[in-house]
Homo-oligomer: A and B are copies of this chain.
Amino acid sequence: MKTDPAHRPRVLVLGGGFGGLQCARALAGKPVNVLLLDRHNYHLFTPLLYQVASSLLNPSEISFPLRRVLRDRNVRVRLAEVARLDLAGRRVHAADGHVFDYDWLVIATGCDTNFFGMDSIERAALGLKHLPDAMALRNHVLSCFEAALLENDPEARQRWLNFLVVGGGPTGVEYSGALCELFRLALPRDFPDLDVRQSRVVLVEALDRLLYDFPPELGEYTKRALERKGVEVRLGTRVTEVEDHTGVRLADGGRIGARTLIWAAGVKAAVPPADPPLPLTPQGRVDVDENLLVRGQDRAFAIGDVAGALWEGEPLPMMAPPAMQQGRHVAAQITRALEGLPLEPYRFHDKGVMATIGRSAGVAALGRLRLKGFIGWIAWLVIHLYYLIGFRNRLIVLSRWTYNYFRLDRPIRLITNSGVANKRATDSSSSP
């Protein structure tokens, strides 16, 4: 099937995350013209985002320029913020006024932090979902120690040293573990005048165990492992109110005096505005049929976190593996359609779940296999290195992990904003 390259069917992919990127790559060399739109010029390897936020990795080590990954003749990248989908007219309006026409649309816009409508928390909390979040969090956490050093009132100082992480999923578990190690292993040498051991990391989870999507015994193991590292784990409660500058109130009546609230308690599908509006599942994700077509549409697919694909009657988790599988699946379906073949339904291949609990401990449930402790940690390292894009990045990240393991050091301890004190989290005014 030979067509003039300029008149090939146009595939428009919205988003360069795991799903969108896999889809665009799988369409490389096929008789279509692919255009990928993203707000950012990089693909972000979100599973390692918490390591940027804890001063271990550089942003460039987990972000890969999209233009470098997608160098195929028939694939193009444009930086754009999607403003509105016109499904009937088969075009997408960008925020800057540009319009992109398509023959096939792939909605892969991912997800955002979900504050569940609690404005006071949204104003006060730091998220951990996008690269600027991680950089802001790194700056903030280091600034808290600087501010504590200048604070004479013991109670006020303690509030700078208390860090509240909300959400006991993989992000909350991994970040609270990494934070505790940063405080116990790397910072004491930096702050000889401060009793860094007074710092507290409190992990709050509304459900009755950590890592709810994992087998129960791994959640329980994770709790014990975090506690051994110094994290205070509070299950079965949630944050109900944020008090400016002083702390948060919990549903169980407790109160934690902390200036820092890190929100890892949920994400929501980043559904783009559309005309007509996109159909949604009860969970607020784009409703798709078994072929991953947006329900009621025949040229628009939705994949990854933004899509509410079902498997065995349940919505698929918002994780990288199903997004990547769906990206490749949709690419194959578009190719089939061009060849006049009927679409095939998407089948989920469960790759399992895994999380780290700081140095030397991890948990993984891969099919019937359960790993924990050192072997779970090694499995996590190997898998994450494998999926990280780029040989050089793998090499650099591996060398940083090795260095960190033996030297207990966190090399990227830089505050790269204006430098003085903290402007975010529960400190909404400027004075410490």
Mark A residues whose CB is within 8 Å of B: 38-42, 58-60, 63, 65, 67-68, 71, 73, 76, 78-81, 95-98, 131-132, 135, 142-143, 146, 149-150, 189-193, 392, 403, 411-421, 431-432
Contact = CB atoms under 8 A, between A and B. Distances in A.
A39 B67 CA distance: 36
A67 B413 contact: yes
B403 A149 contact: no
Given A96-B421, A96-B432, A416 B146 contact: no
Nearest to A79: B146
Contacts of A412: 60
Contacts of A415: 40-42, 79
Nearest to A390: B411
A413 B41 contact: yes
Given A67-B413, A78-B146, A96-B432, 12 more contacts: A39-B419, A41-B142, A41-B413, A58-B58, A65-B413, A78-B150, A79-B143, A79-B415, A79-B421, A80-B150, A81-B420, A96-B431
Contacts of A58: 58-60
B413 A190 contact: no
Contacts of A132: 416-418
B421 A63 contact: no
B432 A411 contact: no
A34 B112 CA distance: 46
A79 B420 contact: yes
A419 B41 contact: yes
A193 B41 contact: no
B63 A414 contact: yes
Contact of A193 (B76, B80, B149): B76
Contacts of A131: 416
Nearest to A95: B420
Closest 10 pairs between A and B when the two form their complex, measured CB to CB:
A67-B190, A79-B146, A40-B419, A65-B413, A39-B419, A60-B412, A58-B58, A41-B415, A42-B414, A81-B420
